[in-house]
Amino acid sequence: MPHFLNTRDQSILPSGGENIVLFHPHVAKGTLEEIADTLQTRWIGQGPKVEKFETNFSAKLKLDHTPIAVGSCTDALHLAYVLSDLGPGDEVIVPVFTCTATSIPLLYHGVKLRFADLQADTMNIDPNHVARLVNERTKAIVAVHYGGLPCDMDELQEIADQVGVPVIEDAAQAVGATYRGKPIGAISDFTTFSFQAIKHITTGDGGMLMIKDVGLKSKAKRIRWFGIDREAKQGGTWANDISEVGYKYQMSDIGAAMGLAALKTLDQTLSLRRELFARYTEQLEAVAGVQVVGTGFTDREHAAWLCTVLAERRADLENKLREHQIESGQVHFRNDRYSIFANFRSNDLPNMDAVEETYLVLPLHTYMTLADVDRVCDTIRSGW
C-alpha cells in the first residue's frame, strides 16, 4: 500500500516573505463591518442574515433551486442523503477520489458504498464505470467536481434517469462553475457547496444545500434544526412535537455576514483564480513530465479552486518546490485506502491506480499574483 505522506518534512510553511503557500483564506473587504453590524443585533445564531445570504447566494449564481444554509458542506451532504431516504442495504455510487466528507455521512445510514474510478485527465468520476456499477440496489449517484471542474453531468444524469435515482453533486470546490451553460447548483436533484476557511467564499465554516424539489424545503429546514418547525415555534403556533430525527446543522448570522461580504467580491475572486489557473496551463503546457489536469474544455467553466498536475517522480518535484519555498501537496487521497472504508475496497480502479503516485496540487489562491505563478512554473521548468 502506498504511503500517504512524503517521508521528508512537509510541514506547513508560514505565509509571508518569499514563501508561496498552498492555500490562504480569502476574507473579503467589508467583512468586519458586516460582522460588527451583526453583533449589534439580537441575532448572532441563525437569524435574518442567514435567510438573506441564502437569497443573495442564489441570485448571485443564478440558481433557481431552493437554498438551505448549513454549518458545513458535510452537513449539506448528510441532509441530501437524508432527503434521498437512504438506508441500510442501499447502494450509493461515489467517486473513489474525493474528500472523505463526501462518503462518511453515508456510513451514518449503513449504506454500501460502490467506489467508481476517475477519469485520468480530469480526476472526476468516470461515467463509464458508473454505468457498470449501477444495479437494482443503487439508490443514488454522487458526483464531485474535483478542483472546480464540472463532471460529465449529462452522462451521469442519463444513467441516473435509467435507474430512477437522484444525482447528488458535491460542489464543495465548484462555486461559480458552469456546465453547458447552466450554473452548478441548478442542475441536479441536490447540490452541496462549501464555505470552509479556504474556499472561494468563506463563512469561517459553512455550506449550502440546493434542492430541486421545492416540496422538500420544509422538511430540510426542520431537519436542519433538530426536527423542529422553527418558524412555527417562533410564531407561537408550534405544537411541541418532533416527529422526525433532526440535527443541529444551521448556519449562524455571524457566518452569513462573512458570506454576504464575500458575495460582493465573488466576481473578482473567480476572475483572479481563473487567470492564475490559465497562467499555469499556458506556462506548463510544453514542460516534459508534467500535465495540468482539467484543461481544454469548452463546454464547461472551471471554478479554479485547485491547480493539479500529473508529474513524473512526484516526490522529487514536491521536494524541489519545497527547497524553493513553494508549498505543494496531495490534498485528497483515494478513499478506499482508509480503514473506515475497508469493507468497500475494489480491485477495479485502473485509472486511480495509474495516477495515485503522480498527482500534485500547486498553490492557487487570491493572495497570489501572476508573478508568483511564473515563479512556480520557472522552478518546475528548471527540472527535478
The whole-angstrom separation of Cα 330 and Cα 13 is 15
Has residue 2 got a pLDDT over 80?
no
Query: To which residue does cell 434517469 refer?
Result: 161
Q: Helix, strand, or coil here: 334?
A: strand
Residue 321 clears pLDDT 80, i.e. is over it: yes
Give the CA distances from residue 303 to residues 61, 120, 174, 381, in Å, rounded to whole numbers and listed in that order: 12, 19, 5, 26
The answer on pLDDT for 181 being more than 70 is yes
> Does the structure show a pLDDT above 60 at 7?
no
In the predicted structure, residue 5 carries a pLDDT above the cut 80 = no
Q: Which of 148, 140, 106, 141 is nearest to 126 (CA)?
A: 141
Domain segments of the chain: what residues? 31-264, 266-381
Range 170-175 average pLDDT: 98
* Residues composing the chain: 384
- Distance (Å) of CA 264 to CA 23, 24, 155, 166, 174: 21, 19, 34, 32, 18
Q: Is the pLDDT of residue 36 over 90?
A: yes
Residue 236: the pLDDT is 84
State pLDDT tens for residues 136-153. 999 999 999 999 999 999
116-125: per-residue pLDDT in tens?
Answer: 999 999 999 9
Say if residue 52's pLDDT is above 60. Answer: yes
Contact yes or no for 258/31 (Cβ under 8 A)? yes
Q: For residue 95, which phi and psi values (nearest 5 degrees)?
A: -70, 140
**Spatial CA neighbour of 133 closest among 148, 112, 151, 149:** 112
31-264: which CATH number, 3.90.79.10, 3.40.640.10, 3.90.1300.10, 3.40.50.880? 3.40.640.10
Position 12 scores a pLDDT of 84
Q: How far is CA 261 from CA 53, 56, 257, 264, in A?
A: 10, 11, 6, 6
Residue listed under C-alpha cell 497570489 = 368
CA nearest to 63, candidates 183, 144, 181 = 183
In 3D, which of 297, 324, 335, 307 has the Cα closest to residue 380? 324
What 3-state class would DSSP assign to 257? helix
The cell numbers describing 81, all together, are: 442523503
Residue 211 is predicted with a pLDDT of: 98
Indicate the fold that domain 266-381 takes in CATH. Aspartate Aminotransferase, domain 1 (3.90.1150)
Measured in whole angstroms, how far is the alpha carbon of residue 21 from the centre of its chain?
A: 20
The predicted pLDDT at position 233 comes to: 84
